[in-house]
Amino acid sequence: MKAAPARPDVVPFIAVWSGEQKHRRTVVYSGHGGIAYADEAPEDRDQHGVLWDARAEGRGTGRPQYGNVHPTRQRVAMQYLLCQVCGKPADRDDRGVLWLIENNRGDWKGWPEGQMTTHPPVCLPCAGQAVEMCPHLIDSSVAVRVRDSEACAVYGRMWSSSAFGAPVRTANAEVVSYGTTAARWVLAGQLVRSLHRCTLVDLQHELGTRR
């Protein structure tokens, strides 16, 4: 008997591949306060004027680096509500877009209303596959339908002014809201959405209704 073909590794859409090198860019003071690239181009900033980390794009080249998130693909997935695993549109019904978020029930009254996350939403097939491969997700995560969400912040490395004539990278990575002074000093790596009009749902039930 032939062995069943091994399940191909699922490499999330937002994961970095080893062939996608970081671009070495010189960071300087911006004329408007905060940081800029010495060779900055308009596409280096988002519509809120925040500077983004730069990395080559070559999905599928080399080996996947599961722990690292590709700034451009994460941003696209978050901006357009694409599934973080396959990059196709996330699942949506009349209760909103499907998200799998860390189970932080009890963090505050009304949780997860207002929860901020760097993890883009998911589609049903990928949610089902994720739970099949990692059954612990059923306990550690919560499925939520989200009617409204706002791209309100970025997550990235903070830079600061120095006595050496150029800004310096700090050890801190932070979530920084758009429109704040700190947003001029962050090198964004991930887009953050806040989740609103949330309905907690049972993932097994969600999967069952579409199969």
Footprint of Zn ion (CB under 5 A): 83, 85-86, 123, 126
Strands 64-69 and 15-17: antiparallel
Residue 51 neighbours by CB under 8 Å, 6+ apart: 34, 35, 36, 37, 40, 44, 45, 186, 187, 188
Of the pair 69, 86, the CB lying nearest Zn ion is at 86
Cβ of residue 83: shortest distance to Zn ion, in angstroms? 3
Q: Work out how close the CB of 97 gets to Zn ion at its nearest, in angstroms, rounded to a whole number.
A: 12
CB-based contacts of 25: which residues, under 8 Å, 6+ apart? Answer: 37, 38, 39, 54
Question: CB-wise, 85 or 153, nearer to Zn ion?
Answer: 85
- If the CB atoms of residues 82 and 154 are measured against Zn ion, the closer one turns out to be 82
* Nearest residue (CB) to Zn ion, 64 versus 175: 64
- What is the SS3 assignment for 44? helix
Rounded to the nearest whole angstrom, what is the least distance from the CB of residue 8 to Zn ion in the complex?
Answer: 14
Answer whether 142's CB lies under 8 Å from 148's CB: no
Query: Residue 124 or residue 142: which is nearer to Zn ion going by CB?
Result: 124
Minimum distance, C-beta of residue 204 to Zn ion, in the bound complex (Å): 17
Nearest approach in angstroms of CB 13 to Zn ion is: 8
* Helical spans, DSSP H, in the chain: 71-80, 124-133, 137-140, 203-210
